[in-house]
Amino acid sequence: MPFLSYLDLLGNNLNGSIDVPNSSTSSSLKTLYLGDNHFEGKIIEPISKLTNLKELDLSFLNTSYPIDLNLFSSFKSLLHLELSGNNIFRASLSSDSYIPLTLKVLYLEKCGIKEFPNILKTLRNLEFIDLFGNGINGKIPEWLWSLPRLNSIMLTRNLFDGFQGSANKIVNSSVQFLFLDGNRFKGALPHLPLSIKIFSAQNNNFGGDIPLTICNTYNVVVVCSQDPHHAPPDPTSTSSSVQGTSLYPLSHYISDESFSPEQRAFFAAITAGEEPKHFKDAVRMKVWNNAMGTEVDALEQKRTWDICDLPPGKEALECLWVYKTKYKSDGTIERYKARLVVQGNHQVEGEDYDETFAPVVKMNTVRSVLRLVAAKNWEVYQMDVNNAFLHGDLEEEVYMKLPPGFRHSHPGKDLGKLKYFLGIEISRGPDGIFLSQRKYALDTIAETGNLGSRPAATPLEQDHKLATVESPLLDDP
């Protein structure tokens, strides 16, 4: 099956081994789920030959032998790895071992780990780590908070009793979701990251005051009332929020007081909403599952493609899902949109295509129309045309791999008065129309862990003139 890109065999009774051909380096398989089976044979070493894998789930394999993390060193672009419920070879958890530096998501639940895995030090792209239910002793290491992209940490049901190093490391980290339930912490609560959105620390022995004063005003801090491992709280639906201040609170620099209550409610709705970034996350939620099914149905109804064998000498392009929440003008959700995108950046100009054309309106046109609307005091509404791009004709021959989750004419919808368009927030008042990209700016700042940083009026020196004189090139170091 040289064209298979997605294979999900979770929760079966597979108990043998895996036969991977020697030519697997050219395999198209990107996603492989084998968790919750009963393998008795050696399967990790054969799987390690599938070097193009991006997502791999080997959780709860029920093997009688420990898993050596070094066996995953052959993967070139692995992003998501689940090894929960397996016995991990202790020596492979040290900083001297190697797992792909591309990893963004790592699950190591209930693996019997007793010391903090120092192998995480090398994972500078790591965004999510789950160490639930291991019984790890000691203090949380200081270096953990220095991982530049780390967003979510699950340390529930271990034996942690403190934090190493300076509190500034925690405060200035990029962590937004932190779960410390069921450990042995005592004394004062820790100073929380300025970027924190959800913090849960049930069933410890913390005492004293709650130091929420360091939390950024635009963040939501939630102390869960239930086990977050089994029922994770939804940061977009909670009504329990606590506002605080930071050294440089954003409320000192931006304000929505000039807008109407309806407009402020709309801004709050679109700012709080979060879309999944990966198929593995979206496929677990019914609303996004339905959205992907709707998109595929529309593509097939419009006869966008024909399923065929790849002809000799041709190369099939990868594809990915992009997820977006569509809002009505009152801030309520109109629908969840999943868009299937072909990765055309792998094509070569002159060979695969001669010219490009994107039927997307220019921002200058949008501003010109809105300027006319404001001058004439017109009302402006927006509509969402589903799968508008399918109305064009494609002359070139393009081969694409089947999308993850593939299974064998949608009318336009009225979204009400124009308030959000192409990432631009639009508000209207007696003085005219105001355009803003605050949500985009705040999302960018949050993703880089800089919500608590000191703002500047402009990131560049004002009136700076670029030099026109050319200087000698630097020597190659």
410 has a pLDDT exceeding 60:
no
The candidate with the shortest Cα–Cα distance to 148, out of 448, 424, 440, is 448
239 has a pLDDT exceeding 80:
no
Burial 108-118 (b: 16+ CB within 10 A, else e): bbbbebeebbe
- How far apart, in whole angstroms, are the C-alpha atoms of residue 264 and residue 360? 28
Q: What is the CA 444 to chain-centroid distance, rounded?
A: 13
pLDDT of res. 382: 74
Confidence of residue 247 (pLDDT cuts 50, 70, 90): low
pLDDT of res. 228: 39
DSSP code at position 200: E
DSSP code at position 71: G
pLDDT of res. 143: 94
**For 173-184, what is the mean pLDDT?**
90
- Residue spans of beta strands (DSSP E) within 21-118: 31-33, 55-57, 80-82, 105-107
CA angle 271, 274, 278 (to 5 degrees): 150
**For 50-62, what is the mean pLDDT?**
87
Structural tokens at position 378? 């017109």
DSSP code at position 371: H
**For 68-78, what is the mean pLDDT?**
86
- How far apart, in whole angstroms, are the C-alpha atoms of residue 369 and residue 390? 26
Q: What is the pLDDT of residues 283-338, one digit of tens each?
A: 778 888 888 888 888 888 877 788 888 888 888 888 888 888 888 777 778 888 88
271 has a pLDDT exceeding 90:
no
Q: What is the CA 264 to chain-centroid distance, rounded?
A: 26
pLDDT of res. 394: 67
